[in-house]
């Protein structure tokens, strides 16, 4: 089949979150289909020194064609606030206004006139209107998370009354958009059964297909247990859920943990660390904040336990899958592990209060045998359920189903 991928990022380098998912799904789809990608470039998603052309060249190694369009010039700074105000007034979600582009529409129309696509993959809700510009194709909508539910949770955690009101209104707008657009697609892709239940009521007769987040099991391979008392947290540190997680960890967990274990250390790896965390690392030699790194595996190799104190966000956490593939023992909140086929005490340890989190971390740091048991079980589950090759087949099955519905509609 010939697939058109409409995306909101250039999917390279595959370092965390949507970039990691998109790069690997594109690669898996291209193993069996002719894939053309037309995407927006988000400069903020690219590491310093990585150009759009670098991304294009990487994707062209397996895609038949790659084209990109810059985001509108007002996508940052004052324009962002104007769009937010416009969303409040118009009832149209912020993301739809952010991704509206005459250039994208023109490029898409031109591409659809040159190629006959069997399936169009729309990679986020805000791109849904563009799918109408590709006639006669099966249509698939990907949900990295269920945005109305994500924003609803954000509102419930917001302390500012003004911001809470904005997020509540935005959640209502997103729910309306989901109810408007999800049923127009032949299939809606979600990352977990839990997320599927969240969006089910909005999908009408459209199929819901679970295509989980995954991990490159050839890149992330088991490491020897280094012993010691080093913890690790990974994630982009200007992302809301990660910012909240690391704030929670250092305000509520770290003081209790260091009272019990004087020699414990932590590596906090990720782009754009907050100023307060950098200052803390300058005054506390046990806290290491290297910022963005090209290869996180050396930090996995030298750390004893991975911590994931996330309490907000959507989708599923790829950082947990990376840690499992590396054979790292994990202490996580229940929320952070939700949507993954993981069991407390078998694949990881769950802790939802600061005291319990401290207790579980101390237990793992002192119990090499339990660390070994978790390592064995965690590697087994990622190989069987979360390797990209396994997930790629789920994606291809969804494309096949959408294409079959397209053909049936034409014949009816």
Per-domain residue ranges of the chain = 2-214+388-411, 230-386
Name the one residue in this structure whose structure tokens are 């209502």: 172
Inter-residue contact 379 to 327 (CB < 8 Å): yes
| Separation between Cα atoms, residue 42 and residue 45, nearest integer Å | 5
pLDDT band at 349 (very low <50, low <70, confident <90, very high): very high
Distances (CA, A) of 37 to 86, 268, 396: 30, 34, 16
Summarize the confidence of residues 10-37 as an average pLDDT: 92
* Higher pLDDT among residues 363 and 160, named by residue: 363
Q: What is the mean pLDDT of the chain?
A: 91
**Domain 230-386, what architecture?**
3-Layer(aba) Sandwich (3.40)
CATH of domain 2-214+388-411: 3.40.50.2000
- The arrangement of strands across the sheet holding 207-210 comes to 65-70, 34-41, 2-7, 119-122, 138-142, 187-190, 207-210
Residue 89 has pLDDT above 70, yes or no: no
Which residues is 291 bridged to in the sheet?
A: 269
Inter-residue contact 241 to 270 (CB < 8 Å): no
pLDDT band at 166 (very low <50, low <70, confident <90, very high): confident
pLDDT of the residue at 57: 97
Domains 2-214+388-411 and 230-386 are alike in CATH topology:
yes
- pTM summary value: 0.85
Distances (CA, A) of 208 to 29, 72, 188, 191, 198: 18, 32, 5, 10, 11
pLDDT tens profile 131-159: 999 988 999 999 999 999 989 888 887 88
pLDDT tens profile 249-295: 999 999 999 999 999 999 999 989 999 999 999 999 999 999 988 89
């Amino acid at each position: 089949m010939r697939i058109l991928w409409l995306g909101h990022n250039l999917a390279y380098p595959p370092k965390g979150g949507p970039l990691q998912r998109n790069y690997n799904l594109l690669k898996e789809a291209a193993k069996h289909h002719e894939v053309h990608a037309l995407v927006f470039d988000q400069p903020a998603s690219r590491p310093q020194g990585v150009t759009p052309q670098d991304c294009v060249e990487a994707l062209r190694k397996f895609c038949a064609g790659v084209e990109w369009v810059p985001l509108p010039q007002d996508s940052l700074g004052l324009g962002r606030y104007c769009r937010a105000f416009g969303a409040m007034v118009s009832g149209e979600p912020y993301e739809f206004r952010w991704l509206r582009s005459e250039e994208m529409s023109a490029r898409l129309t031109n591409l659809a006139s040159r190629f006959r696509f069997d399936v169009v993959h729309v990679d986020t809700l805000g791109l849904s209107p563009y799918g109408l510009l590709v006639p006669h194709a099966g249509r698939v909508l990907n949900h990295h998370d269920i945005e109305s539910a994500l924003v609803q949770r954000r509102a419930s955690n917001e302390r500012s009354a003004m911001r809470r009101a904005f997020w509540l209104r935005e959640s209502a707008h997103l729910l309306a958009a989901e109810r408007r657009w999800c049923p127009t697609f032949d299939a809606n892709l979600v990352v977990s059964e839990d997320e599927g239940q969240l969006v089910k009521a909005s999908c009408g007769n459209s199929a819901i297909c679970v295509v989980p987040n995954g991990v490159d099991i050839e890149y992330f391979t088991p490491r020897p247990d280094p012993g010691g008392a080093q913890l690790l947290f990974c994630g982009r540190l200007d992302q809301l859920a990660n910012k909240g997680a690391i704030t929670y960890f250092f305000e509520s967990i770290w003081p209790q943990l260091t009272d019990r274990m004087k020699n414990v250390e932590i590596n906090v790896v990720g782009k754009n660390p907050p100023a307060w965390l950098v200052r803390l690392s300058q005054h506390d030699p046990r806290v290491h904040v290297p910022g963005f790194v090209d290869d996180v595996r050396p930090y996995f190799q030298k750390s004893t336990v991975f911590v994931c104190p996330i309490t907000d966000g959507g989708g599923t956490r790829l950082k947990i899958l990376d840690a499992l593939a590396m054979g790292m023992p994990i202490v996580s909140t229940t929320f952070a592990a939700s949507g993954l086929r993981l069991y407390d005490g078998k694949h990881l340890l769950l802790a939802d209060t600061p005291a319990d989190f401290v207790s579980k971390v101390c237990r793992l740091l002192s119990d090499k045998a339990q660390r070994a048991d978790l390592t064995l079980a965690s590697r087994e589950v990622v190989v069987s359920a979360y390797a990209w090759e396994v997930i790629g087949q789920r994606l291809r099955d969804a494309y096949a189903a959408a294409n079959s519905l397209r053909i049936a509609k034409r014949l009816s």
